[in-house]
Each structure stands twice: as C-alpha cells, then as structure tokens.
Structure 1
C-alpha cells in the first residue's frame, strides 16, 4: 500500500483497474451464448467506461464539481 498524496496516482490506478474489467467484460461477450448475459456484460462495460471518464474529468478539472 502506498501513502502517495498525489490524487492522480490513485485515479490512474483506479482507471487501470476499470479498463481491465471493461476489456474482460467485452472479451467474454463472445464467450457466452445467453443474449441477456451478453447485454449485461456490454451494459456493465459502458457504465464502467462512464466512471473512467469521470476520473478523467476529475484529473483534468474539466467539470465545475472538481474545481476548488
């Protein structure tokens, strides 16, 4: 565990984990047969992609909510 004070260190680590999960979900879409599960995997990947974008916006301070 790190005591790194720079928030970008933590947001980048979280984004990497989210992106890994997104890749895994999308890869598994082709491995399952059930249409509902395929849809759930794709929806989950999209939602996690939105979280990844939120971390980007936080890092860039591109949204008013993230500005001091």
Structure 2
C-alpha cells in the first residue's frame, strides 16, 4: 500500500500527457476528418483527467480536501 499516493500523480500525469501527444501527432497522419476529430476529442478528455490529477495534488477542489 502507498502511504502517500501523490507521487503517483506525476506518473499518471506523464502517461496522460504522452497519450495526448501521441494522439495529436496521429491527427497529422490521418486523412479521415471523423478520425481526426475523435483523436483530438480523446486528447482533450485526457487533458481533463490530467487536470483533475493536478487539482488533487494541489488540493484545488473541495472534494480533494
């Protein structure tokens, strides 16, 4: 068990950023507009998750206090 899970926040945020970057790079290699939109949407959703982990780390939201 992890006594302070905050060190996991950096690891998760890094993974999310890597996935976001990969999806945005993939947009450049896809011709189909719907797939481009799907990749960009997925990257935006992951960005929201990354922000949520950052808020948890900084205790910005009442739910994390």
> TM-score, normalized by length of structure 2?
0.94
Aligned residue pair count: 65
Kindly indicate whether structure 1 or structure 2 has the higher relative contact order, using CA contacts under 8 Å at least 6 residues apart: 2
For residue 36 of structure 2, the aligned residue among 5, 23, 38 is 38
- The 1-side partners of 2:17 and 2:4 are apart by 21
The runs of 5 or more residues in structure 1 that have no matched partner are: none
